[in-house]
Structure 1
Amino acid sequence: MQHLDPELISLLALDDTVGDRSDRDHLRTCSQCADEYQACRRAVNAAKADPNPQLESPGPHVWQAIHRELGLSPELAEDPLRANSGPAPVRSLPSKQTSAGRPPSRKRPARNLPAWLAAAAAVVLLAAIGVSWIVNRNVATLAQADLQPLEQYAATGTARVVETNGIRELEIRLSANEARGYQEVWLIKPDLSGLVSLGVLDSDRGRFPIPQGLDLSQFPIVDVSDEPLDGNPAHSSVSIVRGSLGT
């Protein structure tokens, strides 16, 4: 089962019209995503109850985590809450005429969010970061692999086996989705005599539970195949990327 992105869970908590039916169906069947959703919903409800909440300013480590996760440039490394805590600098007003003698274009005024929605967005962001930190604190990486393209494909990627509270999952990240049909994730024996399907990868990244008792030393090859829409559950024999797990 592929879990929902934490960002989508936060948006669903803010507005239940976000997403589609499959996202809501997933929340009803996946306890892990449902727990994260409920945590975010509690934060939203708390913000709605108090239209002017006194939110505690997060420490600089929160922005550092956001900066690192989003891969922002070094110029944005400074915590914006700390950077904007002082008085605004005095700037000269621009001239009403440009150098070409034309009046400057008028900008549309910014829309003001309701106080509770702005507060809820901030609380949900911090709640999502807190939930992610609590979850990731117990995550151990057991094995990983570089995924290389096969034949006519050019995509590359990584595979990582992670264990969270005793549950193993395979995390896949690809540079692109190049499937002509759909992508399916497999664990395969080195001699190709046995293989296990973990599920469909419908984007360029995803997480898949690894069956309990499956010996990864016997199935160390990670394979993402290009499957046609023919109803045949067997491997198509056409692989997009492949790699071997190592510690």
Structure 2
Amino acid sequence: MEDRKKVVVIGGVACGPKAAARIKRLKPETEVTIIEKGELLSYAGCGLPFYISGEVHSHNELMSTPAGVVRDTHFFKKVKDINVHNHTLVESVDRKNKIVKAVKTDTGEPVEFPYDTLVLAVGSKTTVPPIEGTDLKGVHFLQTVEEARKIKDECGTLAGKNAVIIGAGLIGMEVTEALKKRGLNITLVERLDTAMGQLLDPEIAYHVHQELKANGVSL
């Protein structure tokens, strides 16, 4: 009997699980493994501002199917027949021998994953502005549930205080709304001439500016 083909997917948040599920649908006989350095899997990153605001009450809601089932390691194995190794950080890829070399972040144990096909779905990297102080207390970035949780927890003690948001794109605008709902005073900083400048013409952006002003946001 021919050995099952092995597909290893690095990245378990958005694109990775979708790619893994698609592979299993097209070729159910394939052995598919997802490697994820964090704890949480297949969550809706675009919902993070709503988690901060409290409209999404638990991070599990960001990981749930329309039927309310949480997409965790058990779900992927039982429902999708996909192996998931979270808390696992990839350190190198031996392309000649087709082996992914990683380490379990909770135990330090080295692990290896042989593959026939490798899928890289590691996502984007946070852009850190070239300014001093980005490592200070009270400065946050928003890309993961863990980062959103820190912002949410800190906001619970800052009602009436001031917050500065760098970036007036879609996520920046949603975070502005989220923090306003938490009772903070917001200053929104954007390097372009208008908010959402890469999406809206100045004539339309004008109405966005008026809405921000009406809600007490300084741009």
Q: TM-score, normalised by structure 2?
A: 0.28
Q: Which has the larger radius of gyration?
A: 1
